[in-house]
Amino acid sequence: MATLAEIRAKLKDQETRSSGSNRGPSDNAIYPFWNLKEGESSTVRFLPDGDSNNTFFWKERLMIKLPFAGIKGETDSRPVQVQVPCMEMYGESCPILAEVRGWFKDPSLEDLGRKYWKKRSYIFQGFVTDNALQEDGTPENPVRRFIIGPQIFQLIKSALMDPDMEELPTDYTSGVDFRITKTSKGGYADYSTSSWARRERPITEEEKAAIDKNGLFNLSDFLPKQPSEVEVKVISEMFKASVDGEAYDTEKFGQYFRPAGVSAKTGDPVAPSTPKAETPTTTASVETPAQPAPEPVVEKVAEAPATATAESTTNNKAEDILKMIRSRQG
């Protein structure tokens, strides 16, 4: 039977996860490739999603960042930022995007529209086969997770759209590795020279044993939980307060969504918890690694008011390519 301390710790962890806020220091199951030095490369091998119903070997995450002038009631409070899930991630209308889309019709509001537009990232899993980082510690389970931005994702997707790719890159026997290379462009991190390996590589016996022992993650478990009807209303209220330049109201919003490192009631900093080795879990969470130099990839305005038809067409094309590859394997 669990001790009282263990029960309290688990309840506190569930509260943090359900809040939709950042979790402080991310666990070391997430591979921090953004810490590569300029000119360095690490090689990874992507694996399938543990959910066989997922056509792809990744899950798309859509988040919206709400900036606030500070925290209400605190003197000398610095600007803070709250991340909230975009409802389009769950196939529903997003109240924030419904408002922001109209801003792109007015040139004077375009910059503001970009600030509040959804930010995409993609969750993958796999092995790090050649690690250029000097990590303090690696998880016992070598199946790592990767939070991939739009720049690298476009390279991955472009290869899948190439009819010359005959095997799934995640295939255990005929798959290929992916090399993440970090350079710089305009003072920002640049990953455009990342690429797929030219040769196929079967996974090793050690890698196969790790999969058999630990299993594969269901990537959807690492998406934020879908907001309730009440939480959607709170998101709308937070959006209005953010646009109006107000400070973040901990009393009003703290139990729903809050900035990283801020407690639910008082706004006081929360002591970071010690990261634990990750095991597959059914509890949805928001994985947001603290990137010191995030990719400066902003979705173009043209994509903002675009209809869902354009996005679904692209996804359908990618799905057709994957089906074609699978049929060749058959």
Q: What tens digit of pLDDT does each residue of 10-49 get?
A: 566 655 554 444 443 446 899 999 999 999 999 999 999 9
Residue 97: per-residue pLDDT: 97
Q: What tens digit of pLDDT does each residue of 97-113 get?
A: 999 999 999 999 999 99
| pTM metric for this prediction | 0.74
Residue 82: per-residue pLDDT: 97
Q: Is 235 a residue whose pLDDT tops 80? A: yes
Q: What is the mean pLDDT of residues 298-309?
A: 44
Cβ–Cβ under 8 Å, residues 116 and 243 = yes
Domains in the chain: ranges and CATH: 21-329 (3.90.198.10)
* Residue pointed to by tokens 């591979």: 31
The more confidently predicted of residues 118 and 314 is 118
The more confidently predicted of residues 201 and 262 is 201
Q: Is 228 a residue whose pLDDT tops 60? A: yes
* Residue pointed to by tokens 């389009």: 88
> How would you class 152 by CB atoms within 10 Å of its CB: exposed for 0-12, middle for 13-18, buried for 19 or more?
buried
Please report the sign of the dihedral spanned by the C-alpha atoms of residue 6, residue 10, residue 15, residue 17: positive
Q: What is the mean pLDDT of residues 69-93?
A: 93
Residue 162: per-residue pLDDT: 86
